[in-house]
């Protein structure tokens, strides 16, 4: 192994940390995008479908990204039927008094894919981005 002068060690450590940080950030962003795609696909497949309409609730969901790097945020929402989502997801009491049962599809998607993503992010951080 090559020996380094003490004054040369600091810049080498700084380069190694910057490289590690960049690799981890890229791997986490890639994993976040992958999870968002999985959740969106789950929603499209599992959102209730109406036999009375060709425009199904699941087909109205989209994914949008804001920011980049550590400030990246991904939002999944219904572009055209947002006014219905909470009623379907949580259920409601109709004006007539009839209870309409919940048909959850958002929370199950989150519950299925998020824990695995968090475990993968921990592994990415531990491995320096090499577990992407």
Residue 4 has pLDDT above 90, yes or no: no
Beta strands in the chain (DSSP E): 61-66, 73-78, 92-93, 99-100
Under 8 Å between Cβ of 109 and 88: no
pTM: 0.82
Confidence of residue 54 (pLDDT cuts 50, 70, 90): confident
Residue with tokens 């572009």: 79
**Cα distance between residue 129 and residue 91, in whole Å:** 42
As given in the structure block, the two tokens for residue 121 are: 């992010």
The neighbour count for residue 88, using CB atoms within 10 Å, is: 19
Most confident of 4-8, 104-108, 124-128: 104-108
**Cα distance between residue 29 and residue 46, in whole Å:** 26
- For residue 6, the model assigns a pLDDT of 73
């Amino acid at each position: 192994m090559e020996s380094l002068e003490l004054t040369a060690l600091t810049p080498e450590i700084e380069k190694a940390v910057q490289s590690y940080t960049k690799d981890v950030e890229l791997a986490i962003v890639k994993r976040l995008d992958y999870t968002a795609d999985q959740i969106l696909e789950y929603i499209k497949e599992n959102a209730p479908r109406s036999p009375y309409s060709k425009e199904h609730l699941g087909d109205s969901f989209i994914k949008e990204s804001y920011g980049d790097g550590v400030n990246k945020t991904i939002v999944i929402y219904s572009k055209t039927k947002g006014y219905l989502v909470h009623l379907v997801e949580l259920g409601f009491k109709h004006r007539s008094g009839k209870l309409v049962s919940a048909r959850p599809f958002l929370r199950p998607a989150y519950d299925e894919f998020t824990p695995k993503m968090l475990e993968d992010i921990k592994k990415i951080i531990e491995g320096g981005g090499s577990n992407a």
